[in-house]
Amino acid sequence: MAAFVKQHRLPEEPLLRGIRPLVDTDVPAVAKLLNSHLSNCYKVHMDFTTDEVAHWVLPRDNVVYSYVVEDDNGRVTDLLSFYELNSSILKNPNYNKMNIAYASYCVARDNDAGRLKQLFKDMLILAKQKGFDVFNVTEVL
């Protein structure tokens, strides 16, 4: 059991190189990346304007958290975002609310499944850094 827990423990810092919070100046590149991903992967999809991307994806504390991955040339290659939704816990003497992070827009470079898996792992790490409870596997077992 100890080996299982050790194998699945989250690192303290994200593993993808170049990951950083999304900023205003990234919006045009993110709009292009997101629209390209949606049009390549889905027959029916939104076509976001830069204003819509700014509204839905730019980070806002206690609402939405967004990150991009930059390559060595400063080009945005990946996007990950999650939003916060608080829920009340009833009839529990120890807890009265739970902050839940829900995945939102996630785009992996070249639609690579392994890279998407890494983005989601980094998303868990970033959510934990923001104060969300990321349950240890031993708490679930």
Number of Cβ atoms within 10 Å of the Cβ of 87: 9
Whether 5 is in a domain gets the answer: no
Whether 12 is in a domain gets the answer: no
Whether 3 is in a domain gets the answer: no
Whether 13 is in a domain gets the answer: no
Whether 96 is in a domain gets the answer: yes
- Are 114 and 122 spatial neighbours (Cβ–Cβ below 8 Å)? no
- Are 55 and 81 spatial neighbours (Cβ–Cβ below 8 Å)? no
Determine the pLDDT at residue 94.
86
**What is each CA distance from 59 to 19, 65, 88, in whole angstroms?**
14, 5, 24
Whether 72 is in a domain gets the answer: yes
Determine the pLDDT at residue 141.
34
Determine the pLDDT at residue 119.
94
Whether 36 is in a domain gets the answer: yes
Determine the pLDDT at residue 135.
57
Range of the domain at 38: 18-134
CATH code where residue 58 lies: 3.40.630.30
Per-residue DSSP letters for 111-141?
G-HHHHHHHHHHHHHHHHHTT-----HHHH-
Determine the pLDDT at residue 75.
95
From first to last of its 141 residues, what are the pLDDT tens digits of the chain? 778 777 777 888 999 999 999 999 999 999 999 999 999 999 999 999 999 999 999 999 999 999 999 999 999 999 999 999 888 889 888 888 888 888 999 999 998 999 999 999 999 999 989 888 765 444 443
Determine the pLDDT at residue 140.
40
Whether 54 is in a domain gets the answer: yes
Domain total of the chain: 1
